[in-house]
Amino acid sequence: MAGLALLVLIASAMGVVAAMAVDRDPHWVVVSDRTGGELARASIAASDGFALRYRNSVYESIAEEQFEVLDGDQLNLVELRADELAVLEEYYTAVGATRSEPGADRTWRIGVERPPIALPLPVQATALGQRTLLASEQEIELWRLVADRDDTLVVLTIEGSE
């Protein structure tokens, strides 16, 4: 009887681990140049999404765009964050921004409701904007990937584990 109880306990534990693995199914944000040449990739859990951080050229402060990965080849822009409220109001016409919780990276934040964004996502990666991909525990400075090139456009795609 003790053996059967142990088997049930092990099977239950394996089920919990399997459920966690499905929720944390790894995906990759792949950064390519315009011709499709891979420049970098970052692992993400699909449920976590990723962010793009950049330095606003007018206010010279930091802003972030938080994305979630949707089924298919789409992203959802879910939240905007910025150090200065004016960046959200002027560049995103975001009304109703609130102060972030104490200790957050950005001072201001606002949820976004916009249609999904089709992939691939072209992104300008200039030294002025210092656009950086924030994915799970990884930061990729996109602008450094193209620093020695004439073309500063990078293209983001999502690859899922198959």
- Looking at the whole model, is its pTM more than 0.85? no
Q: Are 143 and 116 in contact (CB under 8 A)?
A: no
Task: Break the chain into its structural domains and give their ranges.
Answer: 25-160
The single residue listed with the structure tokens 């449920």 is 47
pLDDT at 24: 56
Q: How far apart are CA 51 and CA 55, in angstroms?
A: 13
**Coil/strand/helix, residue 160:** strand
Residues of the chain with pLDDT under 50: 1-23
**Residue 45, φ and ψ in degrees, nearest 5:** -85, 130
The single residue listed with the structure tokens 């993400």 is 44
